[in-house]
Amino acid sequence: MSYLTDRKRAVGLGSAKSGTEHHWSMTVSSGALLILIPLFVFTFGPMLGASYDEVTAYFARPFPAVIAGLTIIVTFKHFAGGVQALLEDYVHGVAQKVAIVAMTCVSYAAMGFGLYAVVRLAL
């Protein structure tokens, strides 16, 4: 028998102990994407259809390369958090754990390949 008051049971981060952290992580990354996506569109858009030499010269400049890199990092981090929440809600048991690990690996692999591509263009 527990002698805790209702307030004492409610204090903390919730039953999983990570809900508040996940919410703030998703909120912050959403705010960052609100700024980064338009910057990415305006820096990447003019290069659509350009020759390889023009694109490499353009991304050799620091601002477009940094904007592209930050957009890739924040987007795939936000994607990983969103897919994790989705899988926690709709998949259960061992399949849930396997799916979360797999999607996290896919997210970080895509982030790595994207950053590798930007670095190759920039250097």
Q: Which domains does the chain have, with CATH numbers?
A: 16-122 (1.20.1300.10)
Contact criterion met (CB below 8 Å) for 68 and 40: yes
pLDDT (mean) for 93-118:
96
| Burial class for 74, CB neighbours closer than 10 Å (0-12, 13-18, 19+) | buried
Per-residue pLDDT of 59-95, as tens digits, reads 999 999 999 999 999 999 999 999 999 999 999 999 9
At 56, give phi and psi (nearest 5°): -65, -35
Q: Which two tokens stand for residue 23?
A: 């919410």
Q: What is the model's pLDDT at position 20? A: 81
Under a CB-based contact definition with an 8 Å cutoff, are residues 36 and 70 in contact? Answer: yes
Answer yes or no: are the C-beta atoms of 112 and 69 closer than 8 Å. Answer: no
pTM exceeds cut of 0.75? yes
